[in-house]
Each structure stands twice: as structure tokens, then as C-alpha cells.
Amino acid sequence: MASLNGLYVVMAFMISFNLLINTSLSYDKIKSSQGPSTDINHAPRPLSAYEKYLSDCSQKLKPHCGQQIFFSVFIGNQTVSNDCCLSLVNDMGKSCHVDLTRYAVQLPLFKKNQTQILNRCQKVWTECSYLLSPSSI
């Protein structure tokens, strides 16, 4: 259950949920236009290579840090602790952090605040990397 606290686990859940809703809506359109029901069970589609990469990225972050980073980037109402900055910079890395954020802002839930979220994403990275630079110690 602790892994659900991770930012990127939460985003993976939202992505999966979004895919389920879109699949359901498109299935309903096809089903209603075809006439009689055939009750076909559809298995979830496998992750694309990019989605697998994002899933792997999400596993690198310490579980308790995901919540801090999520609220700091997507909501803007939290600061990231030094321990979580360390995990973000050393465990996850900039490309994972930025790629996960860019993917999430394409979701309808975050799309309208895309500019602010991407700015906060960069701000969190800059602050965390500065905290861990030798000149700030």
C-alpha cells in the first residue's frame, strides 16, 4: 500500500484509469452501433514501450517522496524535503521526472494547467539539484 504514495504510481493509476474510461467509451459506441450484444471480453492492452519506460521510472522514487513531489508539481502547495530531493535527483533523474510530468499534463485532468505544472516541474528540479550541489553544502 505504501507504493500508492509514490507520485508516479499515482500517475500510472490515473493513466490506466484514463485508458479504461476511453476504452469503455469507445466500446460503448461500437456496441450500440452493431445491434445485438455479443458480450466480448477485452483484455487490457499491453503497455507501449514508452509507458513501460514511465512505469520503470516511477519505481525508482522512494514511495513517501512521490506524494511530496506530486503535490509540489501538480498542485503547487507542498515543498519537497531534502531526502526526497536526494531521491529525485539521484534515483530518478531529470529525464524521468520531466517525461512523467509531460505525459501526465496530456491527461484531461491536468491539460488546462499545463504551463503552470511544467514550470513547477522545472522549479522542483532546479531547487532539488541546487540543494544537492557541492556549492550549496
* 30-57: pLDDT as tens digits: 445 555 555 566 677 888 899 999 999 9
Question: Which of 30-58 are b and which e, b meaning 16 or more Cβ less than 10 Å from the residue's Cβ?
Answer: eeeeeeeeeeeeeeeeeeeeebebbbebb
pLDDT tens-digit readout, 64-90: 899 999 999 999 988 999 999 999 999
pTM value is 0.66
The alpha helices in 7-93, defined as continuous H runs, are 7-33, 49-58, 63-70, 82-86
**pLDDT value of position 23:** 43
pLDDT tens-digit readout, 84-120: 999 999 999 999 999 999 999 999 999 999 999 999 9
**pLDDT value of position 40:** 62
